[in-house]
Amino acid sequence: SLFTRNFRSDASLEALRKASEDRTPNVVLYNYPSFSGAYGALFAHLYHSRLDLPCLILPFSAVLPFSVEDLCIEGLNTCYLLDFFGPKFFSLELFRRTSCRIVGFDHRKSMLSRLRESDANVALHLDNEKNSSSAAYTYFSAKLSETISHDGDCKNLLNHEEQERLNPVVKYIEDRDLRRWSLPDIKPFNIGLRKWHSMLNCVTNPSMFHQLMMEICLDDVISAGKKYISCRQMEANNLLQNVFRLRLGRGFYGECLGVRTDGNSNFVDEMGKELSRRSSAAGLRPIGAVIYMQRNNLKMCLRTMDSNTDTSQIAKVVHG
């Protein structure tokens, strides 16, 4: 595949070698595959572009990460870590080897202990109320606003039109990253965003920044997600043949509607939720039971559309 997860590729290492020859002072590494990391990289790209500052931007993956040795390039002054802090002591070792300033952003609570690596030259920012792309936008916008153009006007990271297009997308990604799931249509947004995962490597996809700026539109992403959900539900509904009443826990937990669907287990979620609706309408428990074979074992999956119904205890009893 063109978008292979080969991050220490010849192209990436060659880019680092050239950056060393050119004494490129700024390196931006962003978490891959992460939309927060990619948008953070976009804001870093815009900042350096606005000021005509040389900068190398590369994806960083925990699957096959760059080593500190890879990043020891001549002339390195600042290294940004967007949506990750790197392996343990990565920042401190990079500073020790290069004397460069390191600025990192993350939002994961699991990274709290890593803040002890911060000092005057290693600035690791962790904010679990704001994801890394939002933090990077705030950071680079503030840095840019401190720079006054020759005609006396303040430079802006994004113009009004760009803000109108990008800010909603970044906010929805933040809602997802922080697991709030509170914004309208956040589920279809999350589904619609999946098609863009393959473009998040700026080495294999030089058009990444243009696509992030111009092609990802909130309404279009949500619309694509809704279409996918609708198509899945229609396919699942077509599989709901021979629905029967099922006694849960030999009747102790009441009755609901169920279906046997061997060979279609990838539609379990949609089928179960539709059965939950039908079961409730029929005066039964608002639960849908989907039964299927998996590796020669008979499995039962329970779904409900009723927020007051807990299927976990029933599942334990019937081994669902």
Mean pLDDT within 70-91: 95
Whether the Cβ atoms of residue 101 and residue 94 lie closer than 8 Å to each other:
no
Chain center to CA of 199: 13
* DSSP assignment of 224-273: HHHHHHHHHHHHHHHT--S-EEEETTTTTT-EEEEEE-TT-GGGHHHHHH
Q: How confident is the model at residue 117, as a pLDDT? A: 78
Which residue is it, tokens 């590494």?
Answer: 29
d(CA 8, CA 127): 29
Per cent of the chain over pLDDT 70 is: 94
Q: How confident is the model at residue 281, as a pLDDT? A: 97
Between vectors from CA 102 to CA 100 and to CA 106, what angle results, nearest 5°? Answer: 165
CA distances from 99 to 25, 71, 264, 273, 302 (A): 12, 12, 57, 57, 57
Domains of the chain listed by start with CATH number: 10-228 (3.90.1640), 239-318 (no CATH)
Between vectors from CA 169 to CA 163 and to CA 170, what angle results, nearest 5°? Answer: 80
Mean pLDDT within 150-176: 88
Provide the total of helices (H) and of strands (E) in the chain, helices listed first: 10, 9
Does the pLDDT value for residue 6 go beyond 60?
no
Does the pLDDT value for residue 278 go beyond 70?
yes
Could you tell me the pLDDT band of residue 1, with boundaries at 50, 70 and 90?
Answer: very low
d(CA 156, CA 132): 20
First to last CA, the chain: 38
Q: How confident is the model at residue 50, as a pLDDT? A: 93
Q: How confident is the model at residue 97, as a pLDDT? A: 95
What tens digit of pLDDT does each residue of 180-209 get? 999 999 999 999 999 999 999 999 999 999
Sheet holding 297-304, edge to edge: 244-247, 255-260, 287-294, 297-304
Q: How confident is the model at residue 71, as a pLDDT? A: 96
What tens digit of pLDDT does each residue of 202-240 get? 999 999 999 999 999 999 999 999 999 999 999 999 999
What SS3 class is residue 154?
strand
> Which burial class, exposed, middle or buried, applies to 111 when counting CB atoms under 10 A from its CB (0-12, 13-18, 19+)?
middle
- Count other C-beta atoms under 10 Å from residue 42's C-beta: 28
Q: Which long-range contacts (CB under 8 A, 24 or more apart) does 272-275 make?
A: 272/301, 272/302, 272/303, 273/303, 273/304, 273/305, 274/233, 274/236, 274/237, 274/240, 275/240, 275/243, 275/303
What would the two tokens of residue 267 be? 């539609």
Could you tell me the pLDDT band of residue 9, with boundaries at 50, 70 and 90?
Answer: confident
What tens digit of pLDDT does each residue of 48-65 get? 999 999 999 999 988 888
CA distances from 127 to 108, 124, 168 (A): 8, 10, 20
What would the two tokens of residue 138 be? 């705030």
What tens digit of pLDDT does each residue of 101-151 get? 999 999 988 888 888 877 788 999 999 999 999 999 999 999 998 886 555
Could you tell me the pLDDT band of residue 4, with boundaries at 50, 70 and 90?
Answer: very low
- The pTM of this model reads 0.84
Residue of 56, 47, 213, 40 lying closest to 141 (CA atoms): 47
